[in-house]
Amino acid sequence: MAQQQQISLPAKLINGGIAGMVGVTCVFPIDLAKTRLQNQRSGQQLYKNMMDCLIKTVKSEGYFGMYRGAAVNLTLVTPEKAIKLAANDFFRHWLIKDGGRLTVFKEMFAGCCAGMCQVIVTTPMEMLKIQLQDAGRLVAQQRVMPVVSTLKIGGTSAVLSRSYNASPARVSATQITRELLRTRGVTGLYRGLGATLMRDIPFSVVYFPVFAHLHQLGQHSFEDPSVPLYWSFMSGCLAGSIAAVAVSPCDVVKTRLQSLKKGTNEETYNGVVDCVRKIMRKEGPGAFLKGAGCRALVIAPLFGIAQVVYFVGVGEFLLGYTPYGIYSA
C-alpha cells in the first residue's frame, strides 16, 4: 500500500503567498472597476460598464489610479492567499490521514475550513482596499453633486480626520487604519466580518472541490498523475469563475457594508439583513449581481495564475525540496 502523502506547511504558505502577489498584480484594475460598479446606486450611475469605468478612471486619476489600494492588497494578499491555499491542502490531507477516501463532502468541508481561516486577514484587507478603490468614484460624484461626506460606524455618524475629508482621493491606508483604531479599536477593521464569512466560506466550498475534479481530468494517466501547467491554469480559471458568480450577491452586500464614506443620498446599513432588505426594496434583485462579470474576470485569472504558481513549487525549491520531492513514495 502506498504511503500517505506528507505536506510541508511552510512551503505551501510560501507558494500561496507568491501566487497571491502574482495574481493580484495582473487583475487589480478589474477588481477596482468591480468595487466601483458595486457601490453605484440606481439613478446615480457614473459608469456604464467595466471598460467605461477603467477609461474614466485613467482620464481623471491617471494610469496608476487603476491601482489605487494595490499596495495594501499586495501586502495582505500574501498571508491571505497563503492561509487559504495552504489551509485547504492541510485539511484535505488531514481528512484522509487514515487512508480514507476524500469524498465530495470532505472536499467541501476542507474548503469551508479554509474559508473560515482566511477571513482573519481578508476582512481588514478588504476593508482598507474598498475605501481606497472607491475614493475616486466619490470624488467624481462630488463634482456633479457636492456633498459633505461623513463616516457611519455602528449607526453613529462621525466625521473622519481632516486629511481624509479634505482630499478623499488621496487618502492612505495608514490614515484610514489610524482613524478606525482611534474611533472603534481593532473591531473597526473587522466591520463586515459576517458578510465576509458569508462570501468566503461558500466560495471555498464551491471552488476547491470543483477545481480538484477539473484538475484531476488533466492527469496524463493513472500511473502518471502529473498535470500540465496549462491545465492547472484552465481549471483554476473555470472553478474560480463558477464560484465567483455563485457568491456575487454576498460580495455586493460585503462591499456596501464595508464602504465607510457614502456619496450623495446613498443608504447606510445596519448589518447584513438591513443591507439585503434595503437593496432589494430600492434597487431590485438585479443589484445583487452588480459587478458579477468583473468579479468573474478578476477571480478566474487570479486563481488560474495562483494555482499555476502554487503547483510550480517555489516554496519547496526555496526550502530545498523538489516540487514533488516533498511527497513520500
Given a cut of 60, whether residue 60 has pLDDT beyond it is yes
Higher per-residue confidence, 177 vs 147: 177
Q: Select from 1.50.40.10, 1.10.1740.10, 3.30.70.100, 3.40.50.2020 the CATH code of 9-139+171-319.
A: 1.50.40.10
pLDDT band for position 113 (cuts 50, 70, 90):
very high
d(CA 83, CA 121): 9
Predicted local distance difference test score (pLDDT) of residue 170 = 61
Predicted local distance difference test score (pLDDT) of residue 162 = 39
Predicted local distance difference test score (pLDDT) of residue 151 = 45
Question: Is residue 212 a contact partner of residue 89, using CB atoms and an 8 Å limit?
Answer: no
Query: What's the pLDDT tens digit per position in 71-85?
Result: 887 887 778 877 888
Query: What's the pLDDT tens digit per position in 250-268?
Result: 989 988 888 877 666 677 8
pLDDT band for position 220 (cuts 50, 70, 90):
confident
Mean pLDDT of 18-31: 83
Mean pLDDT of 241-247: 92
C-alpha cell at 19: 501566487
Question: Is residue 114 a contact partner of residue 84, using CB atoms and an 8 Å limit?
Answer: yes
Given a cut of 80, whether residue 299 has pLDDT beyond it is yes
Question: Is residue 103 a contact partner of residue 6, using CB atoms and an 8 Å limit?
Answer: no
Mean pLDDT of 56-78: 84
Higher per-residue confidence, 138 vs 21: 21
d(CA 69, CA 289): 23
Q: So where are the chain's domains?
A: 9-139+171-319
Higher per-residue confidence, 43 vs 172: 172
Mean pLDDT of 145-153: 46
Given a cut of 90, whether residue 101 has pLDDT beyond it is no
Mean pLDDT of 173-200: 86
Closest among 304, 298, 300 to 215, alpha carbons compared: 304
